[in-house]
Amino acid sequence: MSIWRTPGEESIDVYPGLTIHDGRVSGSITIGRTRLPLWAVLADAVKGDWADVELGYGPTGWSELEFLGFLSNLLNIRGEFARLLCILADVERIEDERVDEVLSHHEGIVDVTPGAAGAVEIPCAWWVDEELKTRVADQLRRCLATLESEVPKSEDA
């Protein structure tokens, strides 16, 4: 089992104006059906404005208000689902730090192609690491339990 669907599928109905395709940009959330991942425009959008995004990447077909709406909806998630988002962000952060640590001992362009002669071996992805994937799986189970539990009806309803 993989985090990517095989064969790769395109999901265009997960959020208006955004797409996820397992075969493009490693399954990142992209603006429309482009190869422009949301994470790539984040710094320009936050530190500058949407004009900086469009200057750097060309017309995106998406607006600053749509981007802000997505971030607002994402960050408006509460409770167990908010915990899941934070855990997902944290395991990504830990994976990035591990890779940065390994690469900090090398200069210039580094070959990280698995199995290539002289390639630098980088740490595994968080979803392969037992400790990190267990954190995510445990929280996913909590989220599923909240969805599967019977919600008591309010007396006022």
Placement of tokens 């064969």 in the chain? 7
Burial of residue 47 (CB within 10 Å: 0-12, 13-18, 19+) is exposed
Neighbours of 26 (CB within 10 A): 10
Query: Which segment of 3-17, 89-103, 116-130, 142-156 scores lowest on mean pLDDT?
Result: 142-156
| Model confidence at 146: pLDDT above 60 | yes
Q: Record the tokens describing residue 53, joined without a space.
A: 């995004």
Per-residue pLDDT tens over the stretch 111-140: 999 889 989 999 999 999 999 999 999 999
Dihedrals φ, ψ of 37, to 5°? -75, 145
Please tell me the distance from the alpha carbon of residue 41 to that of residue 52, in angstroms, as a whole number.
9
Domain-wise residue ranges, the chain: 10-73, 77-148
Q: What CATH number does domain 10-73 carry, 3.40.1160.10, 1.10.4080.10, 1.10.10.10, 3.40.50.280?
A: 1.10.10.10
Note the pTM of the prediction, 2 decimals: 0.82
